Amino acid sequence: MAIFREFVIKLVSRCNLDCDYCYVYNLGDTGWMNQPRFMSPQVLRRAARRIGEYARKHNLDEVRVIFHGGEALMAGPDRLRQAAEIMREHVPNLQLSLQTNAILISDAIMDVLAEFEFGIGVSLDGDEVAHNRHRVYAHGGGSYAQVVAGIEKLRRRGLPFAFLAVVDLHNDPITTYESLARFGPESMDFLWPLGTQDKLPDGHKDNTFWTEAVFWDKPPAQREYRSYIGPYGHWMSDLFDHWSRLTDAPDIRMFEVIMNQLLGGDMQVQFIGLPSDSSIVIQTDGTYELVDSLMSVYDGAAVTGLNIFRHSLEVAAMHPGIDPPTPTLACQNCNYFLQCGGGYFPHRYSEAKGFDNPSLYCPDLMWLIQHIRWKLIRNTNELSGALLPA
């Protein structure tokens, strides 16, 4: 049975942006429409008690509670403080964090974030052009200026934060990295767009992508035309080469996990590698849901039929959807399995075979893992004075 160490609390079910790739609102799931706009104090207390009881029963030395949305900061400073106080009252060994687009950062919000020592994740996709291509308001206008204003407030206050960026092949990887690094984040996550075998993301629509187009803007003599089907893997390998040459660069978790696994470690995160610690989502009405990226698979894919008022977390942990589906046999027999774990499981889904498929990003993962492996071999050989095999 799964052991939960991470609990995603949906403080708010609505958002002040309308990002076109958002799994909550724009990839087919309609569950948000039936949710209360805000999680009530009654639901919060019940959720906190459930989490606290569970943590004590399992002697958890760290309990990660993530306030999420929609946009969590739409709750406002008073609701945010109340939520943090309730969690602190009931949950031992609490580590609070929050994911935000940073638009609503204010002095009052930052007072709460500082007092309760929140980990802060900020969604930013790159420079102004890159960010405003997808992360827009309902009226279609870009949000970059407002997001950067919020980030600058965090910097002036001295509050550390991390970035989450969704990769877009139209953007140059190095320019994207530098546009994020200039703000001084503690770490960065570069996520690939959510999709399934039936709903392919941009760049995976045909096998000749790299021979027909190069999206990022370079002079013709510097463009690279590749026929390999793995454009996201190529994008990330270019970023890896740049990042690995830097000193004091922020962590990029996809790279850290792959390198750790290649060197014999067991570092894991949810979106790559073998399963990490289990997590569960609690919606604003108190219903338990599975990992919310499943909303990109089909309408209702994350629904469990369980809630905090009638069901304990022990019962929720027995739901068959809590543990990721077993990767297909072809993945289990692959040389890259320990590093990619079969890929993030929503990316494996098809209507015909359910989750019994390789990841739609299989070629990207293979390319990136092999690229990093050879970089590590090269570096090891150079340090030892040995020659690489021909």
Confidence at residue 228, expressed as pLDDT on a 0 to 100 scale? 47
Contact 58, 50 (CB under 8 A): no
Confidence at residue 219, expressed as pLDDT on a 0 to 100 scale? 46
Give every CB contact of residue 126 below 8 A, 6+ residues apart in sequence: 165, 168, 171, 175, 176, 179, 180
Amino acid at 264: G
Confidence at residue 106, expressed as pLDDT on a 0 to 100 scale? 98
Confidence at residue 205, expressed as pLDDT on a 0 to 100 scale? 57
Secondary element (H or E) of residue 63: strand 63-68
Confidence at residue 218, expressed as pLDDT on a 0 to 100 scale? 46
Buried b / exposed e across 6-38, counting CB within 10 Å, b at 16+? Answer: bbbbbbbbbbbbbbebbbbbebebebbeebeeb
According to CATH, the superfamily of the domain at 4-324 is Aldolase class I (3.20.20.70)
Between residues 280 and 260, which one has the greater pLDDT?
Answer: 280
Between CA 281 and CA 10 the distance in angstroms is 7
pTM listed for this prediction: 0.90
pLDDT digits (tens, 9 = 90+) for 24-74: 999 999 999 999 999 999 999 999 999 999 999 999 999 999 999 999 999
- In the block, tokens 């802060």 appear at 120
Confidence at residue 206, expressed as pLDDT on a 0 to 100 scale? 45
Contact 75, 37 (CB under 8 A): no
Report CA-CA distances (Å) from 49 to 79, 160, 212: 18, 29, 56
